[in-house]
Amino acid sequence: MPKPLSTRELVRRLKNFGFFGPFSGGKHEYMTKDSLCVVVPNPHGGDISGNLIGKLIRQAGISAKDFENNK
């Protein structure tokens, strides 16, 4: 399971995997890559939990190992 991250760090790492954004959405921002769309949560000053990071990177098609190695 990935470690908790700030929203800024999550966005930076997703950009390293070729995602664009973040773009304004309804309640949350989102990032895109080809036909994939990943919602970027905003925990208002806190970190995003490791469980949620795991779900987001699975949606993005990124393995946990690759995500952790991309710092």
In CATH terms, the fold of domain 7-62 is Metal Transport, Frataxin; Chain A (3.30.920)
| Helix H or strand E encompassing 59 | helix 50-60
Query: What's the confidence (pLDDT) of residue 33?
Result: 96
Query: What's the confidence (pLDDT) of residue 52?
Result: 94
- What tokens appear for 43 in the block? 């925990």
Instruction: Output the average pLDDT for the chain.
Output: 92
pLDDT above 70 covers a percentage of the chain that reads 100
Residue-by-residue DSSP string for 15-51: HHTT-EEEE--SSSEEEEETTEEEEE---TTSPBPHH
Q: What is the domain partition of the chain in residue ranges?
A: 7-62
The 10s digit of each residue's pLDDT in 10-58 is 999 999 999 999 999 888 899 999 999 999 998 787 899 999 999 999 9
- Rounded CA gap, 15 and 30, in Å? 12
| Global pTM value | 0.91
